[in-house]
Structure formats: structure tokens, C-alpha cells
Amino acid sequence: MSLKLGILTGISYVSGLDYYRGIHERVLAETQVGHLMPPNPPITMVSVDCDEYAFHLTNKAFDQVASFLLAGVDKLVVADCDLLVIASNTGHICVPAVETAYPDLDIVHIADCSAHQLKQLGVSQVGLVGTQPTMEESYLHDRLALHGITTVIPEDVGVRAELYRIIYEELSFNEFRPDSRATIVDAIRSLAGQGVEACILGCTEIELLVQQEHVPELPLLASAETHIQFIADILLGKIQVDELLPPEST
């Protein structure tokens, strides 16, 4: 029986669209024709209110963020989803609450997917750009550390605040500005000066604005693209969720 995928999105809707399209394109490209065409992978999506989410997030009310997102996950569980995907790096702040509420629910964690890719590249120290919570709080850093990967963020808090502003005022509304790209590229280049071996584009919208060609001197890891590829591979039976987990979790 096919695995039923649950996607939590709305944080923002832009990345949710990319996940839905990207997963379908990858799965259908390797799926045999059914009656008339390759059958779609079974997916249920729940979209939450980005305004309420961002309000709690910006106020550092992280318990409220987790509760708010968990309410969305509740709906996916009721829909009998086998796998949970959170279409956002920052949204993974709710993972501990989800694991407590639903210990048997498999989560395709974005940091596990990034770590798997980084280990294949031989990277042990990585830069991270994303929202301020993603950069400044520990939930992604700690998950990457379980894989033996050290995370480095831009040193200047003003830079981190500006990256966050670009994400929630521009990228979350499909607005892509060259000056904002330059700001993000400068932040990434500052990380190269801090000795990182690669950089995670740790907001699922950043990779829509910044690509490898903009920073040719440092390998960039598009976290959403990587996440989507592993999700598709799981649905196709190429890899199991357990194979992505940190060593001590398997």
C-alpha cells in the first residue's frame, strides 16, 4: 500500500506550492502508467495562517508557535497520514511537540535530509542563513549536531534581522528583489570568511532568490530542494525514513 504523505504548509504558501509540485514531478517521472497516466502520490495538505504563526514567532512565543502548528498536524493525523512533512525550516520548531503528541508518526525532518547530503559531500562545518529563529534558536543546530555537523550563522545581529525581514516581507509573497539577493549573498560570503565548508539556504524561500551561480566560491545546499528529493525517494521506495535519522536514533 502506498504511503500517504501529509504536508503542513502556509508558512508560507510559496514553499507549499513548491513542495506539492516538486514531489509530484519527481515521483511521476519514475512511476509507471496506471489506467491512462502515472497515478499521483497520495498527499494531504493542511495550510495554516502565516500571519498568526509569524506573530508568535517574532514575539519569541515559541510554545504558542508549536501549539499552533501542532493543531495543523492534528488534522493530518486525522486524515491517516503515514508521513509528516513540514514545508518550512523554521516550522520544524514544533517537531518536539509533534513527537510527544504522536510518537509513532514518521517525520521527514528537513535537517536530517540536509545532513545526509552534507555528509555525502564530506562537510562537517556548515553555514546557515534563514529566519532569525532558525539561525538563533537551537532546533536545527541541535539536529545537525546529532549528525556530527557544526552550524555557523552570520555574526552581526543586524544582518540576521535583515534576512528575516526579507523573508517575511518579500519572499513569503513571491517578491524577489536584486538588492535583497545581494544582502543574502553578502551574508553567505561572510560565513565563508568564518571557515564554513558550505552553506545551507535554511529558509525554503531563499533558494528561490539565491542560487549557486550567485555564490560560486562556496557550495550552497538548497534545503527545500534536498528535502523534496528525499521525500520523493521515500515515496518511490528508494530509501526509508529511518536511514535519514541521526545515528543514535536508529
pLDDT given at position 249: 65
How far apart, in whole angstroms, are the C-alpha atoms of residue 1 and residue 81? 13
pLDDT given at position 250: 52
pLDDT > 70? residue 57: yes
Distant-in-sequence, close-in-space partners of 247: CB < 8 Å, separation ≥ 6 = 146, 147
How far apart, in whole angstroms, are the C-alpha atoms of residue 137 and residue 131? 10
Q: What is the mean pLDDT of residues 58-74?
A: 95
How far apart, in whole angstroms, are the C-alpha atoms of residue 205 and residue 18? 9
pLDDT > 60? residue 169: yes
pLDDT > 70? residue 85: yes
Q: What is the mean pLDDT of residues 173-188?
A: 94
pLDDT given at position 1: 46
pLDDT given at position 205: 83
Segment 5-43, tens digit of pLDDT: 999 999 888 889 999 999 999 999 999 998 998 889 999
Q: What is the mean pLDDT of residues 111-140?
A: 95
> Residues 156, 162, 167, 169: what is their CA dihedral angle, to the nearest 10 degrees?
160
How far apart, in whole angstroms, are the C-alpha atoms of residue 152 and residue 241? 27
pLDDT given at position 83: 97
How far apart, in whole angstroms, are the C-alpha atoms of residue 99 and residue 107? 9
How far apart, in whole angstroms, are the C-alpha atoms of residue 206 and residue 200? 10
Q: Return the closest-CA partner of residue 99 out of 88, 84, 113.
A: 84
Taking the model in full, what pTM does it have?
A: 0.92
Please give the C-alpha separations between residue 98 and each of 70, 83, 109, 197, in angstroms, as whole numbers: 6, 12, 12, 32
